[in-house]
Amino acid sequence: MTLKQRTMVLGGLVVMGAVIYGIALHQSPILVSFVVRQTLVQKAPSGVAAQEVERRLDAHLQSFPDSHARLERLLEISQYLEKVQKLDSRELDELLSGARTTSREGVQ
């Protein structure tokens, strides 16, 4: 294989890597949103319908001015959801009402 062919192969790999990185960068907010949505539905208090949780989450996220702020809020919700097994009604209300800090006894 000549130097020119090796350079073309290496260039092709760099371009493919850049394309894959760009796709991943573009799709990551969608993935975060999906995971948070599913986790929130799973950890919602019993008696609360999944559609209601999704509707409230959508309404909450629409209150943010741009996609970066929405992603930041989704990450905050995600961090809180990692720490709890099941949400009670008060916690769900706090998460979806815009309260930045949600506390729970025993959760640090």
User: Residue 86, SS3?
Assistant: coil
Q: Please report which confidence band the pLDDT of residue 26 belongs to, taking 50, 70 and 90 as the band edges.
A: confident
Residues 46-93 pLDDT 10s: 888 999 999 999 999 999 989 889 999 999 999 999 999 999 999 999
Q: Is the pTM of this model over 0.85?
A: no
1-15 per-position pLDDT tens digit? 899 999 999 999 999
DSSP 20-62: HHHHHHHHHHHHHHHHHHHHHHHHSPTT--HHHHHHHHHHHHH
Q: How confident is the model at residue 107 (pLDDT cuts 50, 70, 90)?
A: very low
Whole-number Cα distances in Å, 11 to 14, 20, 26, 98? 5, 14, 23, 47
